[in-house]
Amino acid sequence: DRGYLSPYFVTNADKMVADLEDAYILLHEKKLSNLQAMLPILEAVVQTSKPLVIISEDVEGEALATLVVNKLRGGLKIAAVKAPG
C-alpha cells in the first residue's frame, strides 16, 4: 500500500512500478536493518531464479543497501515494500 522502498526496485520505468511475476512473498513483522539471519532464505531464492517480494514494517540501512546492490548486479530479482498500517 505504501509502495517500494527504493526506486532501484522499479522494473518498469515508464509506469514507475515494480512488477514481479510468480514471486515468492516474505512477510516480516518488524524492521529489517540486517540481513544476516535471512541469508539462507535469500540464497535459496537466488537458486530458484524466482523473484522475491519482501513486505516488512521497514527495511533500512545495511539491509536495504544489500538488497539494492544485489538487484543492480542482477543476482536477485527483488522488491521490498513497507507493510500497510
- Give me the pLDDT at residue 79, please: 95
Average of pLDDT values for 15-40? 92
Tally of domains within the chain: 1
% the chain with pLDDT above 90: 71
pTM of the model: 0.89
**Domain coverage including residue 78:** 7-82
Q: How confident is the model at residue 67 (pLDDT cuts 50, 70, 90)?
A: very high
> Is the separation of the CB atoms in 79 and 3 below 8 Å?
no
Average of pLDDT values for 63-84? 91
- Give me the pLDDT at residue 3, please: 78
Whether residue 2 is contained in a domain is answered as no
Q: How many helices (H) and strands (E) does the chain have?
A: 2, 3
Contacts (Cβ under 8 Å, ≥6 apart) of 83: 2, 27, 55, 56, 57
Strand partners, 41: none
Whether residue 1 is contained in a domain is answered as no
